[in-house]
Chains A and B, each alone.
Chain A
Amino acid sequence: DTAVSQTPKYLVTQMGNDKSIKCEQNLGHDTMYWYKQDSKKFLKIMFSYNNKELIINETVPNRFSPKSPDKAHLNLHINSLELGDSAVYFCASSQSPTFREQYFGPGTRLTVT
């Protein structure tokens, strides 16, 4: 069974569109995250939820909106997609928000044309 899963794995869309990426974890973890990995492989935290509470909200355009319906799910909605949004987006989860190792999903490769 996959511990952290994301859908879709690949997403190709045009500028201006709105899209969502879904993430689910079956590890029973309390904390979930979204990361962005750019073309140079640099990984940066975007958001984190702990028990459905937003605890990390990095400097991210407000076109990006996370939503956590329950502690096993964290979705990422992106409005008005831009070329610069093209990247790999990783979801992750950890047992708690402090210092625990994070387990990552397989990533969603978003390409904006």
Chain B
Amino acid sequence: AQKVTQAQTEISVVEKEDVTLDCVYETRDTTYYLFWYKQPPSGELVFLIRRNSFDEQNEISGRYSWNFQKSTSSFNFTITASQVVDSAVYFCALSEAYTNAGGTSYGKLTFGQGTILTVHP
């Protein structure tokens, strides 16, 4: 089963529209972290936000906001008043804790399939 599901493969909006990108995750851990990354057409991956499993407060950063709901295992991302520069692939990711054979604890990032957002002028 997918650990991170981004059900929307592609979204197309017109500038100034609000858009919400959905992310649903699956884990048995009580401690985990969630992330969003942006991959613009230039190809680099840009970190947007990190959220731990104990902090369900919504976060707002400029036109970006994130809604974390443990009850529905969702971590949705909303862009308000979208702009052409928001056009990108957006990835949601889950980090769970593992311990390797040598006893080292680490977090492994599992990405969703990505949502391609196109904002038209």
Contacts and interface: CB of A to CB of B under 8 A. Distances in A.
Interface of A: 31, 40-45, 48, 50, 53, 55-56, 88, 90, 92, 97-107, 109
11 contacts: A41-B114, A42-B114, A45-B110, A48-B108, A53-B102, A55-B100, A55-B104, A88-B43, A98-B107, A99-B95, A105-B44
A88 B52 CA distance: 29
A104 B102 CA distance: 26
Contacts of B102: 53, 55
A102 B109 contact: yes
Interface string B83-121: 000000101000101001010111111110110100000
Interface in B30-61: 33, 35, 37, 39, 43-47, 50, 52
Contact of B105 (A42, A43, A97, A102): A97
A55 B112 CA distance: 22
Nearest to A105: B44
B36 to A, nearest CB: 10
Interface of B: 33, 35, 37, 39, 43-47, 50, 52, 89, 91, 95, 97, 100, 102, 104-111, 113-114, 116
Contacts of A50: 104, 106
A48 B100 CA distance: 12
A42 B111 contact: yes
User: Which 3 pairs from chain A and chain B are nearest by CB?
Assistant: A97-B106, A104-B45, A43-B111
Contact of B106 (A56, A101, A107): A56
Contacts of B89: 41
A98 B97 CA distance: 7
Contacts of B43: 88, 106-107, 109
Of A31, A44, A48, A98, which is in contact with the most chain B CB atoms at under 10 Å from its CB? A98
